[in-house]
A and B are shown apart, each in its own frame.
Chain A
Amino acid sequence: MKTGLRNSSEDHVHFHDCFTDHRGWIDSQEKENIRSDVHTKGNSILSVLQTSPVTSTNDCIIIIDSLTPLIYNIGFTRCYRELHSLLVKSTNGLTVSQVICLIHEDTLPDVHVALPQLCHLATTTVKIGSHTQSSRGNPTASIIHKKQGGKILRQVEYYSIDADNRLKSEILTLVTPTVAGVNEDENQLPEDLTTFKLSLGQQEKEARSQLVLPYLRINSEKGGKVFYQPDAADDWDEEDPDDDLDI
């Protein structure tokens, strides 16, 4: 990583090597200390900062290149507490103005519990995703920033890294597919479906409007009435069939 950062003066950027011998395996072998409990070499962030050579007490920014090994080694609860305490109080005379952490989601144990909590602690969350349809083959980054006043800014950008290791990003605009549609008059039948004439001429339209349908009666009276036309075979009796009842 050191070779990747150009123009970084040694005064401003301190690298803390928590990668080699993070559990004291190599050291302990040289001291032939295998039998007794090996003391894990101060894995917490706080202890690392305590031993760091501080040249100035200005606000500093801490960048952690991957949070997963830390969570594995000291447990998620302790890691969370330490991150929180970094932001709230000062350690060893250092005031921390910003902490930047990188998390690989698929390497976290219990990610459905841990990740929302970390997102809650963070004021800015940048979620890197793979390319989508609108991002022209570039990976996307969705950014959520919580302002002090309670407002939340949400933005999606796509980014690319050029040959000089410089980041270029642009806001993602969703590309909606445009449909070249023809407004069709729905009343018109498509005339070229068959060789039969499907459309109506003017006279035919008039004749249709004047047609009275045989079994349709327009109900001009209020209330319902049953229209019954008896057939030739029907036995129509005007008498009331319930006359002989003594009610």
Chain B
Amino acid sequence: MATSVCSALGIDQENSVGKLIAVEEHHSSNGNFVLNCLIAEQVHKEGSVCLVALHNSFGHYHNVGTKLGYNLHQLQEKGCVESIEVLKLLNESLNAEHENRVGNVLFGDEENTMRNLFHLIKGKTEKLLQKRKLVSLVIDDLSNLLSLGISVKEVLSFLQYCRTLLESQPGLSLVVLTHIAEGDDEQQLLNAGLCHVADVIVTVCGLKTGQSSDVSGSMKVTHRRLDQPMIAHEWNKQNLYHFKLLDRQVKIFAPGTAPCLT
């Protein structure tokens, strides 16, 4: 079910350890399915996942996971999946600030907020790496940090620190999702900063001409090979796909070849 997405991304053919996969979600589309498929792939490979959930609660990912074939709650109990639910942290921090007690993680100085979050992530990934060799750090989604009032500079610093984890913790791979809306300069800057350092860029956007019942949107995959020379056969590789989100799976096909049309 998730394999078609992963083969389109080219993840099953190459090793994603030490790499950063950036998912760019344009307005009026939902790129969440890419993250869920990547988590499915990781679970399939018997690796662990550290999920930083800013956009949805952990329950949401569990529900989607059961439809794709994995049970996140069970995996969490086993210790293969760790999660940082920022929405819950938000609640705790707000209460802590209101009652002036310790535990305010998110509403302090901007830099401290990012630092605290980073240290939380670092702790969890270290814990996971002790058990399994492959760990995937999934952040959904980075542009929600801008909504907390944190400046682009701090979020980019946070991203840079997460990238340092790729070097210091072998076996780690990073998946980051950002949302872009036209007219929002901060999101554009953040997204540009992310795409310049990513190894694989997946751009998910809606169809230009409107909504369709047969196609949910289009997905473009770009590989940036900074350390290897251009491979000749890659010139002809198709990288624009259309996808359709169904109840239990995601169908990926080349543009113009939707199942109802052929």
A109 near B189: Cβ-Cβ < 8 Å: yes
A161 near B196: Cβ-Cβ < 8 Å: no
> CA A165 – CA B226 in complex, angstroms?
10
For the complex formed, measure the closest distance between the CB of B162 and the CB atoms of chain A, giving whole angstroms.
11
Q: Is B214 engaged at the interface, CB distance under 8 Å to the other chain?
A: no
Instruction: Report A-chain residues with C-beta under 8 Å of the C-beta of B188.
Output: 106
Q: Is A10 engaged at the interface, CB distance under 8 Å to the other chain?
A: no
Q: Which of A102-118 contact B (CB under 8 A)?
A: 104, 106-107, 109
> CA A163 – CA B225 in complex, angstroms?
12
Instruction: Report B-chain residues with C-beta under 8 Å of the C-beta of A22.
Output: 157, 160
Of chain B, the residue at the smallest CB distance from A108 is: B189
Main secondary structure of the interface of B (DSSP, over half): helix
A163 near B160: Cβ-Cβ < 8 Å: no
Instruction: Report B-chain residues with C-beta under 8 Å of the C-beta of A162.
Output: 229
CB < 8 Å: which of B153, B161, B196 contacts A104? B196
B192 near A25: Cβ-Cβ < 8 Å: no
Instruction: Report B-chain residues with C-beta under 8 Å of the C-beta of A25.
Output: 115, 118-119, 161
> CA A162 – CA B230 in complex, angstroms?
8
Using known A-B contacts A104-B196, A107-B193, determine if residue A19 contacts B227 with beta carbons closer than 8 Å: no
Of chain A, the residue at the smallest CB distance from B164 is: A20
CB < 8 Å: which of B153, B161, B168, B230 contacts A72? B153
Using known A-B contacts A29-B119, A104-B192, determine if residue A4 contacts B227 with beta carbons closer than 8 Å: yes
Q: Is B94 engaged at the interface, CB distance under 8 Å to the other chain?
A: no
Q: Is A34 engaged at the interface, CB distance under 8 Å to the other chain?
A: yes
Complex interface bits, B150-177 against A, C-beta within 8 A gives 1, otherwise 0: 0011001100110110011000000000
A165 near B229: Cβ-Cβ < 8 Å: yes
Instruction: Report A-chain residues with C-beta under 8 Å of the C-beta of B163.
Output: 19
A73 near B153: Cβ-Cβ < 8 Å: yes
Using known A-B contacts A21-B164, A22-B157, determine if residue A107 contacts B227 with beta carbons closer than 8 Å: no
Instruction: Sample 26 A-B pairs with CB under 8 A, ordered by A number.
Output: A3-B227, A4-B227, A19-B163, A20-B167, A20-B168, A21-B161, A21-B164, A22-B157, A22-B160, A23-B157, A25-B115, A25-B118, A25-B119, A26-B161, A26-B164, A29-B115, A66-B196, A69-B156, A72-B153, A106-B188, A106-B189, A106-B192, A107-B189, A109-B152, A109-B189, A162-B229
Further contacts, 18 of them, CB under 8 A, given A25-B119, A34-B112, A34-B115:
A3-B227, A19-B160, A19-B163, A21-B161, A25-B115, A26-B164, A29-B115, A68-B193, A72-B156, A106-B188, A106-B192, A107-B193, A109-B189, A161-B229, A161-B230, A163-B229, A164-B229, A165-B229
- Chain A residues proximal to chain B, CB less than 8 Å: 3-4, 19-23, 25-26, 29, 34, 38, 66, 68-69, 72-73, 104, 106-107, 109, 161-165
